[in-house]
Amino acid sequence: MHLFIILNVVAMFHLALASVVPHTRRQEPSLVPLSMTDEKYRIADSYIVILKPDTKLDEHLARVGQDLRTTADEFFYMDAINAYSFTMKGSVQIMEDKIRADSSVEAVQQNGRVPLDEAFQVLPGTNPDPDTNYVEKRETAGDITRRILTSRQTANVRGWERKTEQNKIWHMAMVQGDGRLKNLNTKEEKNNYDHITNPDNGAGVNIYIIDSGIRSTHKEFGGRVRHLGGGKDNDPSPYCPGEPNTDQHGHGTHVAGTAAGSNYGISYAATIVNVKSGCKNGFDFDQIARSINDIINEHKKNKQDKPNGWAGSVINMSLGGTMDWGPAFKLACQVAYNEGIPIAVAGGNSNVDAVTFQPCNYASVFCIGASDQNYRRADFSNYGVTLKGYAPGKDIKSADFKSDDGYTLKSGTSMASPMVAGIFAIFLSFETSDLWGDAKDAYNRMHANTLRIIDAHSGQILNQLMVTTGINSPWRHALFPYAGLDRELLQGTCEMSVTEIQTCEDPAHNLFATVAITGPKGEKLFETSQGGSAPGVPIDDIAADQADEIIKTYPGYIINGESDLPGVMQIIGEHDNDYVQMFYFKRDSDDESLAFTAGAPDGVGTLDQGAQKCELADKGNWGDGKAPACKDGAKSRRFVCKFAC
């Protein structure tokens, strides 16, 4: 009984003391969360630390209490994203006590590694074998080059030419179509391929291939491959210690050939930059982030120094998965995007919704699915709204890594992604990166040139988009090689000068014309052909239902009756979307004018968008039969005028 009383007295004493003595126990600092990938991918004692934007590395390491640059077994600083990775035995304690406790740290992740075949999602049965190895058989007969009716422009937007090549493979024809191609030949390389030239596809653009390496000596590349950071083929890769820069797997060489090969690639004039961070054992999270960091730095230097001919940068990453790649990789992609580098990535080969697939679901990338030869989603391709579109990705022929002249077939979204990278390079070679801020403009261009022609056959009706180069887009302006460009870019950048228009009216009152058009520097852009005995190009009577529109556009002209309707001449370029249209007006016998517009039909370049009026040059006719192209007895007239885009 007495013991019970004493214990209760002691207990009450401690309660009373607690009520009057303040709590002095030190608060533990809050720790930055540690991002952990799946256990099977983790690299022991290896971490990536992302610092807050304004944090200096030296100040952070001073707070840590040791200079990891010298004490760690491995240390890499990534200045473009203000992050570093380090490997050091027994580093768990310093990570817990110092690094994660530093308020200047933004995020921390454990380093990881994804095996190559898992990152590439290699499909069975698509590796090279004797039945699918090819030797190049390039045929150049039938190449056609036509000059677009526009001057060499004086601002950033360049002039360009159109070229049609024959005997090309089906996937190249498919990405330049204006819809589903009815005569697509998937068995033989006998398809036409339209593309821009002068500038050539991808000229001046660096396409960075983050992959397993590239066989740079393959004839498909024509000496256009270099290694990021310099070095030769057999020199060690900066991102794969102990391994050469060259490809020892096959994936990277095939991808590079699809993006920028001379025969089977989209941007045949681009520079291919080998970024081998896909090592024999896989992709290390820190090394892939580090490789993007180095790309960003090279891009920024090029943008500042503007080396001769440089137009921009594109990244291709034919890799991914549902594993968590961590915040450093995601941040590196975002910074590259912010700097104006478009990033093409593969959407995955699991036939599932790609919503959890990384890096496909990053906001900073353009993720692509695979289609087959019949405009259907490939049966292996992922799908869903995370994808931005589809590109050919089944049985794609490209360079093989085993020899300098071998080719092979591969399937996968890995094959579709480099087609997108090649198209991005086309956009950049025409516009140059000077016209872009972040990569949003590139993605907008790609969206503007997609066609809703893919059968997704997955219940996914929200994404049926096929990416194209835009050269035959139904929506492109005649003065541009693809859709999506702002017409304001043309203001003050091009001027077409019609230096001579001769109209001839023969005794039967049939009108003909010859036209010569020159640019601002006097270069000849267009001249009508003279065929047979006809004095130029016929000017047919304009349809009566067009007269009202002309009257609204040119209210000063009075048109009385069908016989007095103006003549019209269309000078057609390589297809109906490129033309200069000229209207001949006759108000009375003493006052004649000719008006014209340049553009495309279907509401693009209509009469009220830039139409100009041209007056008679000599305030009257030359007289019967005096114009060089006019026959005896024909009335001739000469006009001189200019058209500013």
Q: Which residues are designated catalytic?
A: 211, 251, 414
Going by the DSSP 8-state scheme, the letter that residue 96 receives in this structure is I
Order of strands across the sheet that contains 271-276: 225-227, 271-276, 205-211, 312-317, 343-346, 366-371, 389-392, 465-466, 451-452
Contacts for 136-142: CB closer than 8 Å, 24+ residues apart: 136/219, 136/220, 136/263, 136/405, 136/407, 137/189, 138/167, 138/263, 139/166, 139/167, 140/165, 141/166, 141/167, 142/166, 142/167
C-alpha to C-alpha distance for 499 and 526, rounded to whole angstroms: 11
Q: CA nearest 632: which of 619, 623, 621? A: 623
CB 383 within 8 A of CB 377: yes
DSSP string, 130-165: GGG-EE-----TT-EEEE-SSPPPSSSSPP-EEEEE
C-alpha to C-alpha distance for 487 and 644, rounded to whole angstroms: 12
Amino acid at 80: A
Strand 83-87 to 74-78 pairing: antiparallel
The residues, ordered by sequence, that sit 6+ positions from 103 with a Cβ below 8 Å of its Cβ are none
Place of tokens 């070679």: 429
At residue 13, φ and ψ (nearest 5 deg) are -65, -45
∠151-429-190 over CA atoms, to 5°?
90
226: β partners: 273
- Please give, one letter per residue, the 3-state secondary structure of 531-568: CCCCCCEEEEECCHHHHHHHHHHCCCCCCCCHHHCCEE
- Please give, one letter per residue, the 3-state secondary structure of 605-626: CCCCCCCEEEEECCCCCCCCCC
At residue 244, φ and ψ (nearest 5 deg) are -75, 165
Phi-psi region of 170 (alpha: psi -120 to 50; beta: other; left: phi over 0): alpha
Q: Would you give the distance in Å from CA 376 to the centre of its chain?
A: 22
C-alpha to C-alpha distance for 313 and 205, rounded to whole angstroms: 6
